[in-house]
A and B are shown apart, each in its own frame.
Chain A
């Protein structure tokens, strides 16, 4: 009665994703944003994010100038160009976000594979997992960030240390399922290539879960960067990042004319995080076979 419609997991996932107009919009936003910040320094008339600009007439630093034709996003409290700083900061925050997301999921994948496959190490890794899982993440973050020298690598390292746990457990559970099927007597007798069936079913699930986790790790990492900067353990002040910019602008919220120094980085950051979050969730829904009809 119902013909076997040709079903390809990935095609169906992409189709389901495409139906979500909002997610598509945000996806284009992300792509557009990334493309832009890569090109931005090479566009004509771009200023340096760290250079301090001086008013030629008075000799004073161009402090706290609101957005104008010269400085599209205005200047900050020591005369730096906000437009350049925002995009430099976005580059930095995205770099941190992507690096952390990729690394912690990579580590999680590796650990998960070993955990699930190598029986001898299963006990040890399980214990380590349980212990680390019970330690409040913030404590480790703060302690490590404080002991190590502030810098980009420190921040990335610190965030990766705790982020791999979830992915590791997920991967390990899947590996265990495959491993058990391999020894499944029935499958051996019937001669079904258990391996192949397991791979076909589980691999797509694994890949889509990883993609989901990576896309949600990015806004989380950016959030942590803001947090660490808030408590003074973030990047050194000299390196522009969205966390730093927000911190610098925080004090100005009460002064209407200076509010742009907080609003602009806050809006840019929010657009980034909302985009990734929406796309990530939309992908999760799209890759769920229940939604493939």
Chain B
């Protein structure tokens, strides 16, 4: 067990290294002009070189990488060069993350509850109409690109329900639309998973045994099927929670939310290398940590994995 954990941690760190290196290399292919600001054609070659060297962009890659790791160990995420020149990256992120995190967590919570409930109801096959509507919802949300339905939701719902078009921190009523819109897609995913897993479980022998014990179906579902279907879903939770930080680029631009959403794209377009690197580092780290904790959850919940095959059989 411990061996497994250790190897997973090592593997994750290795992956992280590779990801950072790849991003570093890719960023070096950016056109040089992007770093020089607007009047770049007025600068002569020498001036350009001085600027680039000061930014550390002329060092060979391995030197750049080691500088980066050195900074990182000291907890320094670097300083923005073009997006907000001179501002420490950590400050930029600190200002934006709370928005994305707040909206993301709220919508995740809603999706989780609503999705599982919907999936359970659909698996129990309580009525053709209900299942049809549920399926229709899932199809529409999954097939139609989010960019499209977000726009229409904002447009029509602000009209019908008289909700504000833009997000304001101090007006909770303006939080409703962004959070709900964001939750639609994930709700559909959870519903679909739950339905599938429950449908699978319902065919299994232990369910038939529970039924033949004389247990009413709804108790069978509550006490046996639900838990077994739920467990495989848990492993994706930590990663989902962590990724709420990244924010939806669509939602945040539609509702003018000053979050992390468009930051990565803008950072790349502005060629703000330190900012890009920091963001990539954080996202990759979250992905890896998320999967790691997801695995741990699985182990904790499923006694078959936890107790392993080597423990003695009775």
Interface residues of A (CB under 8 A from B): 130-131, 134-136, 138-139, 142-144, 146-147, 219, 222-223, 226-227, 230-233, 246, 250, 253-254, 262, 266, 269-270, 273-274, 276-278, 281
Contact = CB atoms under 8 A, between A and B. Distances in A.
Contacts of A144: 26
A136 B15 contact: no
B23 A143 contact: yes
Contact of A222 (B145, B151, B291): B145
B245 to A, nearest CB: 11
Contacts of B30: 146-147
B144 interface: yes
Contacts of B147: 223, 226-227, 230, 246
11 contacts: A136-B283, A139-B280, A143-B268, A144-B26, A146-B30, A147-B29, A147-B30, A219-B143, A246-B147, A253-B152, A277-B142
A228 to B, nearest CB: 10
A274 B26 contact: no
B284 interface: yes
Contacts of B11: 130
A270 B148 contact: yes
Contact of B151 (A227, A262, A269): A262
Nearest to A128: B18
B31 to A, nearest CB: 9
Given A142-B265, A142-B268, A231 B155 contact: no
Contacts of A146: 30, 268-269
Nearest to B288: A134
B287 interface: yes
Contacts of A278: 139, 143
B300 to A, nearest CB: 22
B166 interface: no
Contacts of B210: none
B301 interface: no
Contacts of A142: 264-265, 268
Nearest to B16: A134
Contacts of B291: 134
Interface in B151-208: 151-152, 155
B2 interface: no
A232 B280 CA distance: 20
A277 B139 contact: yes
A136 B284 contact: yes
Given A144-B26, A147-B29, A226 B148 contact: yes
B250 interface: yes
B26 A147 contact: yes
A131 B15 contact: yes
Given A134-B284, A232-B265, 12 more contacts: A131-B18, A134-B287, A136-B284, A136-B287, A138-B264, A139-B264, A147-B30, A231-B265, A232-B269, A254-B155, A273-B144, A277-B139
Contacts of B43: none
B298 interface: no
A231 B151 contact: no
A169 to B, nearest CB: 15
Instruction: Give the dominant DSSP class at B's interface.
Output: helix
B233 interface: no
A131 B287 CA distance: 11
Instruction: Give the dominant DSSP class at A's interface.
Output: helix
B1 interface: no
Contact of A131 (B19, B29, B143): B19
Contacts of B155: 253-254
A135 B14 CA distance: 12
B153 to A, nearest CB: 11
A136 B19 CA distance: 10
Nearest to B165: A254
Given A232-B269, A250-B151, A254-B155, A135 B22 contact: yes
Interface string B117-133: 00000000000000000
Nearest to A222: B145
Contacts of B12: 134
B92 interface: no
Contacts of A138: 264
A281 B268 CA distance: 37
A266 B18 CA distance: 39
A274 B140 contact: yes
A279 B23 CA distance: 38
A230 B250 contact: yes
A235 to B, nearest CB: 15
Nearest to B279: A139
A134 B294 CA distance: 14
Contacts of B258: none
A253 B154 CA distance: 10
Contacts of A246: 147-148
A274 B249 contact: no
Contacts of B139: 274, 277-278, 281
